[in-house]
Structure 1
């Protein structure tokens, strides 16, 4: 029979959710002397162990800078300096909660391996996490492709690898109500200089790039590496903000259903209605919070899937009304669906100004 499962499938026209949870946890994979307690969980910069190298303390500090807020936590998983096999670290990270991953000392040959791991976590393990990886054309909403060659702070230049921790902290510290597009990086004094055409090409190629507008360095557009869209995964999946909201909703429904519904509630029609009502109430909260478009959310029995299941167990649905199909006994299976519209942030503004002659 296998273990009870919760499949939350996101398409552009449907999301199911229950309860908002916390977000904003960054995981850093660092090479150092492995401490007795590993990983190191930090809520502020002051939680950093004194035994870490200066370089690793710098990476943790960069991650904690955040955007409007710092990340909720930064978790440093330490591996030995000569480590080349990261299987143990990956296995451990599959078992704990986090949102964004960065590996400042990642070898070029390992970038695609870690991208594949993140994709597997999202698509196979159903763990909706993201990674900021250097120069990684991952073509996936879970991979942010850090592509700036130089990130300048005075006389110091951070490479794309060395700056991934900072970007992971920015995205983890960005409220779901806004986008990190045009987010300023106050510590930077300069970065790559690209023309408008070069920036457009880079963004369209799924690259996360920075620009110097003459006064400050800022993110050009908060996009992930996804470039290949489908009917079920359209262009909105390219936006980090949109994917963050989808992932948050996914995590909320998964944890709440696991804690409050699976194995605890009778699977009759009345209780399915109560479950749908709870989902609707959650959508109302997201609408009030400015994450979902008001009045565009609905929750209902997935009639097509429920009818297909009934037929698969030998039930003749040909003479049943829609309501009878909705109320039919589906053993331990629940088939519900929802529609919402996620709100994006203002990014492209067109303003026509008419000038009157005197």
Structure 2
């Protein structure tokens, strides 16, 4: 009877995409003499009482969120005496689910190592991101937060110390809007920028916050990615776009892995049923305004089929595209998907006439 369960799962995932996008998980790596181990925190009352005031504030900053609160904050507290780096914390993070990594006490010499670790996790299909202070990684999965001198009440935070707040802000922002111009009402004062300095920072892939004369808000929701290529264009500079792409990749790969691979014969009919299920996923994401309409396609990857058949000794010179598309490909499935995520309104020009 085909793949009804896979089809239903894809539709359910698409229908819940916005909710999942606005309920991200923030991971904090801390060091403290007390409360060592791992903790799952949903509200202030879950914060271990033995932690230092500074570490408690880091967790509270992450919990503030954006439009919504993050789903939760997961914390590993390491021993500040015996742990000279973050390797034990990173090993733990490989075993748990999270979306955004922050290390408030990170030092400059450790930034490249953490960025590389995040990249390796994404290579292994764990689509996480990190908020790092003053690190021009030029990667779509690193948010380079560079604003300093952030005053909240009686406390003044550096860029590194405020990354927890930025992670919670991004985690609590729905996928159908951007963090651009999102306010941070608790801040009374922040590093000053001129208009030129703001433009330059954004063009350099810096996530900055500034005072607009009335309130402190995000300048633009950008990643640290700045060097475009033929395969990665301007879209990868936007946090919102990268979030949708990561959601798409995770939903597709996990659903296929859990509910399709090894469970159905690799016939052309079953390939078409899988394609139909992914198309239904596209339609729902379009309805939720996460993907643009009428431009998202999925189908058999004909080039991959040609390469497979040729490598397996099949003469394809006289084969039609239909014959190549329906050919037996052993246990391999080659599907090609092209999507166009929707950005948020950010640059608006209005012409007024008398």
SS of the counterpart of 1:291? coil
**Contact between 2:34 and 2:50, CA under 8 Å: does it hold in 1?**
no
Aligned residues: 337
C-alpha distance in 2, partners of 1:97/1:265?
28
SS of the counterpart of 1:98? coil
C-alpha distance in 1, partners of 2:175/2:151?
28
Superposed CA offset, 1:64-93 (max 9, x none): 110011111110011111322322221221
Paired residues for 1:67-82 under 5 Å: 67-82=66-81
TM-fit CA distance, 1:43: 2.3
Tell me the TM-score normalized by structure 2.
0.92
C-alpha distance in 2, partners of 1:194/1:313?
61
**Contact between 1:152 and 1:189, CA under 8 Å: does it hold in 2?**
yes
C-alpha distance in 2, partners of 1:157/1:209?
16
**Quick check: which one's helix share is greater?**
2
Cα RMSD between the aligned structures? 1.4
C-alpha distance in 2, partners of 1:115/1:42?
25
Q: Aligned residue for 2:4? A: none
**Contact between 2:35 and 2:51, CA under 8 Å: does it hold in 1?**
no
**Contact between 1:118 and 1:130, CA under 8 Å: does it hold in 2?**
yes
TM-fit CA distance, 1:138: 0.5
Q: Aligned residue for 1:87? A: 87
Superposed CA offset, 1:181-221 (max 9, x none): 00100100111111111111111011111110111000000
> Which stretch of structure 1 is more off in the superposition, 66-75 or 90-99?
90-99
C-alpha distance in 2, partners of 1:31/1:188?
26
TM-fit CA distance, 1:51: 2.2
TM-fit CA distance, 1:44: 2.3
TM-fit CA distance, 1:95: 2.1
Superposed CA offset, 1:201-253 (max 9, x none): 11101111111011100000000100111011001100000000000111111
SS of the counterpart of 2:217? strand
TM-fit CA distance, 1:334: 0.6
**Contact between 1:34 and 1:79, CA under 8 Å: does it hold in 2?**
no
> Which stretch of structure 1 is more off in the superposition, 26-35 or 343-352?
26-35
Paired residues for 1:108-123 under 5 Å: 108-122=108-122
Q: Aligned residue for 2:97? A: 97
Paired residues for 1:202-351 under 5 Å: 202-351=201-350
Q: Aligned residue for 2:5? A: none
Superposed CA offset, 1:101-131 (max 9, x none): 0011112211121111112222x32221100
Q: 1:326–1:143: structure 2 CA closer, same or farther, 3 Å change rule? A: same
Tell me the TM-score normalized by structure 1.
0.91
C-alpha distance in 2, partners of 1:210/1:150?
11
TM-fit CA distance, 1:318: 1.1
SS of the counterpart of 2:232? coil
Which consecutive residues of structure 2, in runs of 5 or more, have no partner in the other structure? 1-9
